[in-house]
Structure formats: C-alpha cells, structure tokens
Amino acid sequence: MQHLLETAESTLQELEAMKTRGYGTLTNHERCSFCDGTLLGNQFYLFPCAHGFHTVCLLREAHKTLPIGQLPVLKSVEESLKLLTMKVKDLDTRARSQQEALQQELDGFIGADCPLCGYAMINLIGKSLISNEEMAKDAFKWSF
C-alpha cells in the first residue's frame, strides 16, 4: 500500500514539476500546437499532455474563448505586464514582485489548462490514480 501511495504522489509531483519546468524553459524542438512555429527562443507554455503553445498564441486564443466579463481583466493584466517588462532593466524589488504577481494572474488565464485537451488535466489524472489506489486497498482487504 505504502508503495502505491508513493507512486501516486511522485507522479503528481512530476506533473507539477513538468508544469513549472515547462514555462519559459528552452528545451527541445517542440512546436506550438496553434501556429506550428518552434517554441525555442519564444516565451511558451508546455502542458503535462506535452502540448506546447507560444504565450502569444495562447493569449490570442484566450481573447476568442474567454467569457466577455473576463476579457477586460485579462487585457489589463497583459497591458500592465507589458509596461513593466518594457522597463525591465531598472525594475526595483517592488516592481519585480508586481511583475511576478501579474505573471501569475496571466498564468491563471492561459496556463491553467491545455486548450486542446480541455480542462483540469492534472485533476483528472490525480483522480484516476486515487481510484486505482482505492481498488488496491480493497484487494488487500479481500486477501484476509
């Protein structure tokens, strides 16, 4: 049982790590699933399903799919982030943490789910791992 639990946990950790690692890292020859351009050298998101997208492509898509009420919010986050990034060289600590907060807000809009695979990839995987574990527990009980 302990072993199964550890496996489930480390798989989830791995997924989380993939999520964080994917953002902004220059890795391989992955291509953007929207425009088929190479991800290398651009700001991009890589989802646990291995779909990768340019940040700009995700934003373009978000503009099309976001509920009308949320669009102005996204646009103002984008705008503030752009302004901050433009003067990135002389950012003080406060501006830097402001930039991070904005970036996180942006992540919430475009980095939460893979637009091709639908919603809550990680949650779905997590659930199936737990139910396997439940099944194993039952099997264990039955063996007595």
Q: 31: exposed, middle or buried (C-beta count within 10 Å: 0-12, 13-18, 19+)?
A: middle
Q: Does 35 engage in binding with Zn ion (CB under 5 A)? A: yes
Q: Would you count residue 110 as binding Zn ion (CB under 5 A)?
A: no
SS3 118: coil
Q: Nearest distance from residue 45's CB to Zn ion, in Å? A: 10
Contact between 102 and Zn ion by CB under 5 A: the answer reads no
**Can you tell me whether residue 31 is helix, strand or coil?**
strand
Return the residues of window 113-142 that contact Zn ion according to CB under 5 A: 114, 116-117
Q: Distance between CA atoms of 18 and 47, rounded to whole angstroms?
A: 7
Residue type present at position 116: L
* By CB under 5 A, residue 18 contacts Zn ion: no
Least distance (Å) between residue 79 CB and Zn ion: 21
* Residues engaged in binding Zn ion (CB under 5 A): 32, 34-35, 37, 49, 51, 54, 57, 114, 116-117
